Amino acid sequence: MNALATEEEIFTATVGMGQIVTARKPGQLSAVLGSCVGIALYHPRLEVGGLAHVVLPHSNGRLDNPGKFADTAVPALLQELQKHGIPQAGLVAKIAGGACMFQMRGPLQIGEANIQAVRQALTQANIRLAAQHVGGTAGRRIILDCANGTLRVEIAGRTVEIL
Amino acid sequence: MNSTATRSKKLEVLHELLAAATHEASASMSRWTNGLISLSLDEVRELPLEEVAAELELHDELLTMVVLSLEGPLGGEMILTFDEQNARQLAASLLNRPVNQDPEWTELEKSALTETGNILACAYMSALSRLIGEDLIPTAPYFLQDYGASVLQQALLPQAMAGDQILLCRTGFHRHGENLNWRVLFVPNHALREGMEKAIRTAV
């Protein structure tokens, strides 16, 4: 997990699979998602955000890599923000990802399972889900702008949506 | 022998197994491209899940890919990736036509690329089947353009569910000795990975 950047730094940090990164204005956090789900938490008044890159829905008790699983990533992201003095009250969530990348649709529909698990984890943490761009069959590139809390979603270079 | 040394020896033997499959795939690819393209297995290693995309330099670049899955309990994914220029050049070469400048891919171009993936995967899986004594049946290939990292994520999931260490086989493509910006990503699921390890266990 990365420490918060100072306000003087302008950077875009890439958040890899299973990682959790936080940043403050004017920093940006980006991730490329397929079946994974990106959870962006943002505090509008304090202009600080965090991004978790969730790979799988359930940790089944594993605690070694909390950013990897939906059920452990949300508490870990909250904890990381709290370390930097960001309270849970006032945080809003936006999520993206959870695609099914392969045509061969087998029993392992992990993208959909990830979406459901992330929604459940946010509900359990009592965090409002303000926007989402999930499902489908194409990859996404997301950028959380900590200057204003927008989540830019680029769908495989074809379209762009701002959440 | 300690666990690190055992692991290292297993990877070494696994390298030999996959090198033999790569050799057969290379021979098939050479025949398909009239001697133009060959393959080599450059590396077999394990690395943490979060480092795989960076290690493969798969970020937010849009890639052209041919994807095949393995059916059955011994499953996995094989993904052939190219940048746009290399993919166009290969299709033009196979079709004996000038490189198409139209942004849209024609069905014929897609077919040339998917057939390349098919030939590569069938040769590779056929050799691997023989070496491990189990049937590996690839599905029909399909053409895909997307972020390389997005596709890799889903291919890695079966291994990610079993642990944090990912088995990575790095294969190089060459045209008359010159390295090409193509990749083949072979990601066996946990059962196939165990099957391969079982096959080599006697050698360790």
Residue B13 in this model has a pLDDT that exceeds 80: no
Q: What is the mean pLDDT of residues B8-28?
A: 83
pLDDT band at B165 (very low <50, low <70, confident <90, very high): confident
Residues belonging to chain A: 163
Determine what percent of chain A is predicted with pLDDT higher than 90: 74
Determine what percent of chain B is predicted with pLDDT higher than 70: 96
Buried b (16+ CB within 10 A) or exposed e, B189-199: bbbbbebbbeb
User: What are the Cα distances from residue A147, in Å, to A2, A12, A29, A42, B111?
Assistant: 18, 12, 11, 10, 46
Q: Is A36 a catalytic residue?
A: yes
B42 vs B13, more confident: B42
Q: Which domain holds residue B147?
A: 3-201
Mean pLDDT estimate for chain A: 89
Residues of A in contact with B154 (CB under 8 A): 34-35, 100-102, 110-111
DSSP A2: B
pLDDT at A36: 93
Kindly state the helix (H) or strand (E) to which residue B53 belongs, with its residue range.
helix B52-55
Tokens of B93: 């070469």
Residue B5 in this model has a pLDDT that exceeds 90: no
Question: Tens digits of per-residue pLDDT, A114-150?
Answer: 999 999 999 999 999 999 999 998 899 999 999 999 9
Q: How many domains does chain B have?
A: 1
Residues of B in contact with A33 (CB under 8 A): 150, 153
Most B CBs within 10 Å, among A1, A2, A17, to test the B interface:
A17
Q: Can you point out the beta strands (E) in B49-134? A: 62-71, 76-82
The CATH number assigned to the domain holding B98 equals 3.40.1550.10
pLDDT at A33: 93
Is B201 within 8 Å of chain A by CB?
no
- Choose among A39, A38, A57: nearest CA to A108: A57
Query: Which residue of B53, B147, B160 is in closest CB contact with A56?
Result: B160
Question: Which one of the listed residues A20, A36, A100, A142 is annotated catalytic?
Answer: A36
pLDDT band at A78 (very low <50, low <70, confident <90, very high): very high
Kindly state the helix (H) or strand (E) to which residue A108 belongs, with its residue range.
none
Mean pLDDT estimate for chain B: 84
Question: Tens digits of per-residue pLDDT, B69-125?
Answer: 888 888 888 888 888 888 898 888 888 888 888 888 999 999 999 999 998 888 888
Residues of B in contact with A16 (CB under 8 A): 50-51, 53-54
pLDDT band at B3 (very low <50, low <70, confident <90, very high): low
Domains and CATH numbers, chain A: 12-162 (3.30.1330.200)
Cβ–Cβ gap B153/A36 under 8 Å: yes
pLDDT at A144: 97
**Mind giving me the DSSP string for chain A?**
-BPPPPTT---EEE--TT-EEEEETT-EEEEEESSSEEEEEEETTTTEEEEEEE-BS--TT--S-GGGBHHHHHHHHHHHHHHTT--STT-EEEEEE-----SS--S--HHHHHHHHHHHHHHHTT-EEEEEEE-SSS-EEEEEETTT--EEEEETTTEEEE-
Cβ–Cβ gap A139/B158 under 8 Å: no
Which residue blocks in B163-189 are alpha helix, DSSP H? Answer: none
Determine what percent of chain B is predicted with pLDDT higher than 90: 8
Cβ–Cβ gap B153/A14 under 8 Å: no
Residue B77 CA to residue B62 CA, distance in Å, equals: 19
pLDDT at A1: 46
pLDDT at B2: 65
Residue A142 CA to residue A149 CA, distance in Å, equals: 12
If you count residue pairs, one on A and one on B, with CB atoms under 8 Å apart, how many are there? 90
Cα atoms in the 13 Å half-sphere on the side-chain side of B86 = 17
Cβ–Cβ gap B147/A34 under 8 Å: yes
Is B60 within 8 Å of chain A by CB?
yes
Question: Tens digits of per-residue pLDDT, A30-48?
Answer: 999 999 999 999 999 999 9
pLDDT at B201: 66
User: Considering the entire predicted model, what is its pTM?
Assistant: 0.83
Q: Is B18 helix (H, G, I), strand (E, B) or coil?
A: helix
Cβ–Cβ gap B69/A102 under 8 Å: yes
